[in-house]
Amino acid sequence: MKIKAICTLLVLATTFLLQSFVVPVEEIKSDDPFIVVLDAGHGGHDPGNLGNGYLEKKIALNIVLKVGDLLSQNKDIKVIYTRKDDSFVDLFVRGEIANKANADLFVSVHCDSHTSDAHGAGTFVLGLHANKQNFEIAKKENSVIYLEDNYENRYADYDINSPESVIGLTIMQEEFLDQSVALATMIQENFSKSLKRTDRKVKQAGFIVLHQTFMPSVLVETGFLTNKDEGAYLNSQKGQTEMGKAIAQAILNYKEGVKPTERVVETTVAQTKANTIKDEAVKKIEDKKDVVVVKKEEPAVQKENDVAKTTTTPATTKNEIPEKIIDEPIVEVKKKKEAITPKEVASSIVFKIQLMASSKNVPLDAANFKGLTNLSQEPFKNLYRYMYGETQSYREAKMMQSRAVDKGYKTAYIVAYRLGERIPIQEAIDQVSDLTP
């Protein structure tokens, strides 16, 4: 009996030890969707701006619905609307919807008006009014609060006629300013480069609706209804479709740059493709790439009075929205070199911890990264990705991730590279685990 009991204990102990080396499924994949809250400005008894017989509330809603339709074709994106019909929603409620959903992005869509023939599209992030023009735009949008019940108490600390009152509003959004500017820049690029719209740049102003949210947030002024040609364009099916597509594409580009791409393949066709890529990786070798080196030319953020402009390169055709968005990784097998063994494939894979993505070129000093060392950086579109550590062990990478989280990088996640090129995390884990005795 004693021998039997000892054997039982040994079996249990062995099972426990083996399980401790198994990577839990929930640690490999992320089932959390990327949540985007889309906010169509005005609505109901608040028509918004008027011009040439066009209604801002109607045009903004139509554009928002088109953005949502495109984004919803991605299974890992969840779209939430502040309104889907002609209803009036208080500004503070719009923010509550985004905050309660723990959204990743908040995008508010509007149309502008002016006494002149002003034209063009611009995107705003929350901040101090750089000039009187920005202040007047925000003041006009913020005047919606007077249509709300109990606005005197709800917005007691805010005076829409006082630029100084915005200072207190900006503090809570400072944490998300870089991300907000990055998204706004991508939106403006699509407007100006893809649609050839007049670029009114990325600007800062004190919009109450942006202050209410605790995530990267932008407000898009799609154009001027008071301009005859622009008003007709925005009121047309063609204009609304093009504007919706441009905004949706910018959101997809932003998501790809700052969120983990470790998604589990869900369809049989996609799974077959992934397996084929994995098999070919064992038999073929890609052209070796040097470790990514940051270009000397950094994205220039130029302030021209009220303008915050980030220069970027055009999005590649890989990232353009086709007639139907296909959310599958595109992997290219490059020129043949020589056959390599599974062991050599695994030895070429390393894991790192992505800390953040930013439009700023931050020096890789420990002081700039809360004391973390062994840092690396790579350009991605108009952003820079910042990584910490490097290891060939996924278990060690998990410990590195925990250290990064403890340092304050709460959204840090594991990324993988093969021969200096980023690959899906699941593919890397599979190739490494295949060699485990």
Domain ranges of the chain: 34-256, 272-286+333-437
Nearest to 182 by CA among 39, 32, 299, 78: 299
């930013």: which residue's tokens?
Answer: 358
pLDDT digits 0-9 by tens, 186-198: 999 999 999 999 9
**143-152, 264-273, 314-323: the lowest-pLDDT one:** 264-273
Q: What is the mean pLDDT of the chain?
A: 72
**CATH architecture of the domain covering 272-286+333-437:** 2-Layer Sandwich (3.30)
| Superfamily covering domain 34-256 | Zn-dependent exopeptidases (3.40.630.40)
**106-110, 124-128, 131-135, 427-431: the lowest-pLDDT one:** 131-135
Q: How far apart are CA 186 and CA 200, in angstroms?
A: 13
CB atoms within 10 A of CB 333: 13
pLDDT digits 0-9 by tens, 21-69: 333 333 334 568 999 999 999 998 888 888 888 999 999 999 999 999 9
DSSP SS3 for 285: coil
Most confidently modeled range among 47-61, 151-165, 259-273, 402-416: 47-61
**206-220, 234-248, 266-280, 398-412: the lowest-pLDDT one:** 266-280
User: What is the reported pLDDT for 209?
Assistant: 66
User: What is the reported pLDDT for 291?
Assistant: 35
Q: How far apart are CA 380 and CA 258, in angstroms?
A: 10
Distances (CA, A) of 176 to 89, 358, 376: 24, 10, 22
pLDDT at 250 over 90: yes
More confident residue, 2 or 143: 143
In the chain, the amino acid numbered 358 is S
pLDDT at 357 over 90: no
pLDDT at 115 over 90: no
Split at pLDDT 50, 70, 90, the class of 165 is low
pLDDT digits 0-9 by tens, 208-238: 767 777 888 899 999 999 999 999 999 999 9
User: What is the reported pLDDT for 288?
Assistant: 35
| Run of H or E including 71 | helix 56-71
pLDDT at 432 over 70: yes
In CATH terms, are 34-256 and 272-286+333-437 the same topology?
Answer: no
